[in-house]
Amino acid sequence: MFVSLEGPDGVGKTTQVALLVEALRAEGRDVVQCREPGGTELGERVRSLLLDGDVAVGDRAEALLFAAARAEIADEVIRPALAAGRWVVCDRFIDSSIVYQGIARGLGVESVRAASVFATDGLLPDRTIVLHGVDRRGDQPDRIEAAGAEFHRRVAEGFLRLAELDPARVVLVDATGAEDAVAARVRAAVDGGGA
């Protein structure tokens, strides 16, 4: 089972990824945790390039670099884990590209999705959980977090649209309230229930 967690910056996703992995392991499941961009040597280097405010990156180059990092993690980490019968929980995947590059940067949902599907050779999560409703961005923004209020408004709206684009895979989860209450909603959403 391949699960991705998604949402705008500052929604509390990283905490919820850790809590979900903990809950699944407590149920006896063998879980691989990963994050995007990253998880491989190339992916970590691409991550530094993409998040470093000193490196200028054009929109299409940005989309292709995220896709290149995704190709590596799909081949080196995710497919082998799934083939061994393990669970994979990934902090961001294809939907971040669809929303940040396709919608918020304006490159178009279809072309960004196509680049990403090419990168992963068709691999998609079985379930994608989109957290929404909270914005706790810190005061040390990386290059993408520093993109401005209008950009982040488009990101937040874009994530809400995702569930409409792919209702069989994507579940929206309300991220407001106590961490453990959100964690319970996330766990339920893995099994298919919306919240």
User: 40-68 b/e with 16+ CB inside 10 Å = b?
Assistant: bebbeebbebbbeeeeebeeeebbbbbbe
Task: With contacts defined by CB under 6 A, name the span among 15-23, 52-60, 92-100, 126-134 that binds ligand TYD.
Answer: 92-100
The DSSP call for residue 103 is I
Task: With contacts defined by CB under 6 A, name the span among 17-25, 89-97, 156-164, 181-189 that binds ligand TYD.
Answer: 89-97
97 binds ligand TYD (CB under 6 A): yes
37 binds ligand TYD (CB under 6 A): yes
192: Cβ–Cβ under 8 A, 6 or more apart, which residues? 127, 171
Query: How many angstroms separate the Cα of 107 from the Cα of each of 35, 58, 163?
Result: 23, 11, 19
Task: With contacts defined by CB under 6 A, name the span among 7-15, 71-79, 127-135, 183-191 that binds ligand TYD.
Answer: 7-15
Residue type, 37: P
159 binds ligand TYD (CB under 6 A): no
6 binds ligand TYD (CB under 6 A): no
Q: Which run of H or E residues covers position 173?
A: strand 170-174
CB of 85 vs ligand TYD, minimal distance in Å? 26
Site residues (CB under 6 A) for ligand TYD?
Answer: 9, 13-14, 36-37, 51, 66, 91-92, 96-97, 100-101, 144-145
